[in-house]
Amino acid sequence: MIRSLDRIIEWRGKPGTIRVDNGTEYISGKLLIWAEKRGITIQPGQPQQTAYIERYNRTVRHEWLDRYIIETID
C-alpha cells in the first residue's frame, strides 16, 4: 500500500491529511512512520464519514462471499 501511496503522491502531490478507517492495515506502524516522515497526518475516520465504502464492504462480505462459499461447497 505504501508503494501505491508514493505513486499517487508523485502523480497528484502530497496531501496534508489522509483519512482512513480503523482497519489494521491503515493504523499499522509502517503506515504511521511513512506518513510522519512525509509530514502527512493520518486521520482515523468514523463509519458515518465513510458510509458508502462501509456499505460496499458489507455487501462484499455478506452477499458476494456468502454466495461464492455456498456455490462452491460440494
Could you give the 3-state DSSP secondary structure of residue 74? coil
Residue 21, domain CATH? 3.30.420.10
How many domains in the chain? 1
N-term to C-term CA, the chain: 36
Residue 23's φ and ψ, nearest 5 degrees, are -65, 150
- Cα–Cα distance for residue pair 7/26, rounded to 1 Å: 17
C-alpha cell at 32: 504511521
Read off the C-alpha cell for 58: 458489507
According to the model, what pLDDT value does residue 74 have?
57
More confident residue, 71 or 64: 64
Least confident of 17-26, 51-60, 61-70: 61-70
* Span 25-59, pLDDT tens digits: 776 788 889 999 999 998 877 767 767 777 887 88
60's grid cell: 462484499
Instruction: Tell me the residue range of the domain where 10 lies.
Output: 2-72
